[in-house]
Amino acid sequence: MYKFYYAPGTCALASHIALEEAGAAYQAERLDFKSNQQNSPDYLAINPKGRVPALVTDKGVLTETPAILAFIAQTFPQAGLAPFDDAFRLAEVQAFNSYLCSTVHVAHAHKLRGYRWATEEASFADMKRMVPKTMGNNFALIERGMIKGPWVMGETYTICDPYLFTIGTWLEGDGVDVSALPKVMAHRSRMLERPAVRKVVEQEK
Amino acid sequence: MYKFYYAPGTCALASHIALEEAGAAYQAERLDFKSNQQNSPDYLAINPKGRVPALVTDKGVLTETPAILAFIAQTFPQAGLAPFDDAFRLAEVQAFNSYLCSTVHVAHAHKLRGYRWATEEASFADMKRMVPKTMGNNFALIERGMIKGPWVMGETYTICDPYLFTIGTWLEGDGVDVSALPKVMAHRSRMLERPAVRKVVEQEK
């Protein structure tokens, strides 16, 4: 039985959905970001980075969304969530997820977490103003060239799908005009038809 | 024969070293960032993100360092660069590389590429001032808890090692006091004893 640490509204949703899709036995533990629980001594003993998600397994703790997603896919092969038997296709999956974590999520983080990279209020405001443009540009690239359809990697649902869905839920709040992103929006609707997605979205409310 | 696009001083060094360690047949193609070659129409046709590294294979183009590194490891299993037969250990490798790409590399990028996330000169200066602290904090976490020694994952050299080495070459330029990072510095020395590393470092000069 895994223990899975998450907070609502964070990228942890992606791994949460993947656990559910895989049929994994897990206990979801919600952290309260408002009371800064992610930086409590108890949680820092689990994840010294003070972030979510964290997946506690019998072998140790795993962090970082792309790593947790790939771990779930490899551990539950019957769910078919990643093509571990094909190095090139697996690398495409990983490249997509790596883009989401290192570029898209980072662009979004400049809206409310500018203090990670600067100290002045004026800088925070400057960063915040740019988020609609950076998130818009990143998602334009995804829309134009990265969604094969109907799922990100084509006919097969993979660990790219819950991750895209998760980061996509931030678009409207980030001031991006989603009417320019028909494929991304169709993907969102398709995701919301899946029982595992509905269950986890409901649970995280 | 792969074609590998890189530019000196960038994170592409990690994949370049891995190709060499794996004994892969590849042709290295240097891009000139000073003339903005990464945004030329020719290169954007290869990698629409306008970044390095990019690895051209007979099946298509791969981007994103963690994905390219894992691809090399899986394609050349005799080099033993990642534990693909052990989901937990592989996830540890991926979590380390994911931290480097989404947190550490991003912290560094705020020194010279603030224009990615803001528009004002004052914001760029603010971001730049904070880089010694963010890079210092990130590497303190690596020093304290992420290097098992002698290599990142312990006794076995993996795709984590060239990536840590690569990002570590930025420390002094980022104003980090490396005397507080003895494990990271010992790791750098150990890396520089490897023929593959010396060869690639020389080639990228």
DSSP A39: G
Cβ pairs A/B, distance under 8 A: 147
A142, two tokens: 């995804």
Mean pLDDT of B46-71: 97
CA dist., res. A147 & res. A167, Å (int): 14
| Min Cα–Cα distance to chain A from B65, Å | 8
| CA R_g for chain B | 17
* Preceding peptide of B162 cis, ω within 30°: no
Judged by a CB distance cut-off of 8 A, whether residue A137 touches chain B is no
CA dist., res. B76 & res. B134, Å (int): 35
Mean pLDDT of B51-56: 98
Burial call B93-123: b when 16+ CB within 10 Å, e when fewer: bbbbbbbbbbbbbbbbbbbeebebbbebeeb
Task: Spell out the domains of chain A, with CATH numbers in brackets.
Answer: 2-80+200-204 (3.40.30.10), 87-194 (1.20.1050.10)
- Straight-line distance from the first to the last Cα atom of chain B, in angstroms, rounded to the nearest whole number: 23
| Residue A141: how many other CB atoms lie within 10 Å | 14
CA dist., res. B104 & res. B58, Å (int): 32
Does A122 sit within 8 Å of B120, measured CB to CB?
A: yes
Out of A57, A70, A91, name the one closest to residue B71 (CB): A91
Mean pLDDT per 10-residue segment, chain A (205 residues): 97 98 98 96 96 98 98 98 98 98 98 97 98 98 97 98 98 98 98 98 96
Is residue A173 a contact partner of residue A139, using CB atoms and an 8 Å limit?
no
Residue B53's nearest CA partner among B205, B185, B204 is B204
Is residue B26 a contact partner of residue B2, using CB atoms and an 8 Å limit?
yes
Residue B137: per-residue pLDDT: 98
| Residue A65: how many other CB atoms lie within 10 Å | 30
| Chain B residue with the nearest C-alpha to that of A124 | B123
Is residue A94 a contact partner of residue B70, using CB atoms and an 8 Å limit?
yes
Does B66 sit within 8 Å of A94, measured CB to CB?
A: yes
Residue B150: per-residue pLDDT: 97
Residue B201: per-residue pLDDT: 98
Residue A120: per-residue pLDDT: 98
Percentage above 90 pLDDT, chain B: 100
Q: ipTM, 2 decimals? A: 0.97
pLDDT digit string (tens) for B144-197?
999 999 999 999 999 999 999 999 999 999 999 999 999 999 999 999 999 999
Residue B117 dihedral angles phi and psi, to the nearest 5°: -125, 0
Is residue B88 a contact partner of residue A60, using CB atoms and an 8 Å limit?
yes
Judged by a CB distance cut-off of 8 A, whether residue A85 touches chain B is no
pLDDT digit string (tens) for A163-203?
999 999 999 999 999 999 999 999 999 999 999 999 999 99
pLDDT digit string (tens) for B11-40?
999 999 999 999 999 999 999 999 999 999
Structural element, H or E, at residue B62: strand B60-63
A89, two tokens: 């296709």
Residue A68: per-residue pLDDT: 98
Is residue B2 a contact partner of residue B19, using CB atoms and an 8 Å limit?
yes
pLDDT digit string (tens) for B79-90?
999 999 999 999
Residue A84: per-residue pLDDT: 98
Which residues 146-205 in chain B show a CB within 8 A of chain A?
none
